[in-house]
């Protein structure tokens, strides 16, 4: 099948999506968004500022965000003195976004802090698809062919994204269709190029860890390559079957 998707209604505040991205952005990157929301709900005025102070929690990946409101007594200008008052607005555990204390009469509960963006989810999905042997059917991406062997794993992430508001279109392809043959042929060429690049990396690198990781990736790509080669031939395509360089390289380095 071929899948396409629409991210316009994806709820990026859903915590389960953070497990896909794995790493929350730096809280300092969210300062502007938090300040704008505090102005929208009336905690800060348009001329007031927000300062974030981040306290790491020992032996934990969690941090505490201390929200400090800077209330200007006069408009900020390039010259002259500055009169202001700084008050603590509250503390939030990050990235769980649990409110630890609130000095704004409960207004911090109105904050909706997006830890991820739709573009990040799109990148994660594409990476996942390519890792599982899926291939682009459009040069610029946005539509991918999902082979039968990959569909059970791919469906897991698709259903998770759908539960968070993402719209996914699944387009079935008839066996023996011309489109399927073209997809298989493009995949063969794509995996050949990818394997050639990995072989170059394996031969040039002096770091054993890099070589072993590339060798593992090469084995996976070889499996995908043979799958699409067999599919192409079953559909009546003609490609001279030969021993690909990837197999020679894997055998050579396996003895080291």
Evaluate the omega torsion of the peptide bond into residue 95 and state whether it is cis, within 30 degrees of 0. yes
Pair 176, 235: CB distance under 8 Å: yes
* Average pLDDT of the residues in 169-183: 86
Whole-number pLDDT of residue 67: 94
* Average pLDDT of the residues in 154-163: 92
Whole-number pLDDT of residue 210: 84
104-129 residue pLDDT tens: 999 999 888 777 778 888 888 999 99
Pair 124, 16: CB distance under 8 Å: no
The residues spanned by each domain of the chain are 1-13+116-172, 25-110, 176-256
Residues 6+ apart with CB under 8 A from 158: 3, 168
For residues 38 and 173, the model is more confident at 38
pLDDT band at 255 (very low <50, low <70, confident <90, very high): very low
Whole-number pLDDT of residue 249: 61
- Assess whether pLDDT exceeds 60 at residue 39: yes
Return d(Cα 135, Cα 179) in angstroms, integer: 13
- CATH, domain range 1-13+116-172: 3.30.70
Q: Residue 11 has which token pair?
A: 């709820």
* Selection from 38-52, 208-222, 225-239 with the highest mean pLDDT: 38-52
């Amino acid at each position: 099948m071929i899948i396409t998707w629409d991210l316009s209604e994806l709820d990026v505040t859903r915590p389960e999506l953070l497990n896909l991205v794995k790493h929350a952005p730096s809280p300092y990157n969210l300062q502007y968004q938090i300040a704008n929301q505090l102005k929208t709900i009336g905690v800060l005025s348009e001329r007031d500022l927000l300062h974030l102070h981040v306290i790491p929690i020992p032996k934990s990946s969690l941090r505490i965000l201390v929200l400090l409101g800077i209330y200007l007594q006069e408009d900020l200008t390039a010259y002259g003195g500055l009169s202001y008052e700084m008050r603590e607005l509250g503390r939030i555990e990050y990235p769980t976004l649990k409110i630890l204390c609130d000095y704004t009469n409960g207004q911090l509960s109105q904050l909706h802090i997006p830890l991820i963006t739709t573009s990040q989810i799109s990148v994660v999905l594409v990476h996942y698809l390519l890792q599982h042997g899926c291939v682009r059917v459009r040069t610029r991406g946005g539509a991918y062919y999902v082979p039968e062997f990959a569909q059970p794993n791919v469906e897991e992430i698709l259903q998770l994204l759908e539960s968070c508001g993402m719209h996914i279109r699944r387009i079935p392809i008839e066996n023996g269709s011309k489109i399927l043959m073209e997809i298989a042929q493009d995949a063969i060429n794509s995996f050949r190029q990818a394997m050639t690049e990995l072989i170059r990396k394996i031969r040039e690198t002096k770091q054993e860890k890099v070589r072993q990781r590339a060798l593992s990736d090469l084995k996976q790509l070889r499996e995908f390559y043979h799958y699409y080669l067999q599919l192409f031939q079953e559909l009546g395509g003609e490609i001279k079957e030969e021993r690909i360089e990837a197999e020679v390289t894997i055998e050579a380095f396996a003895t080291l």
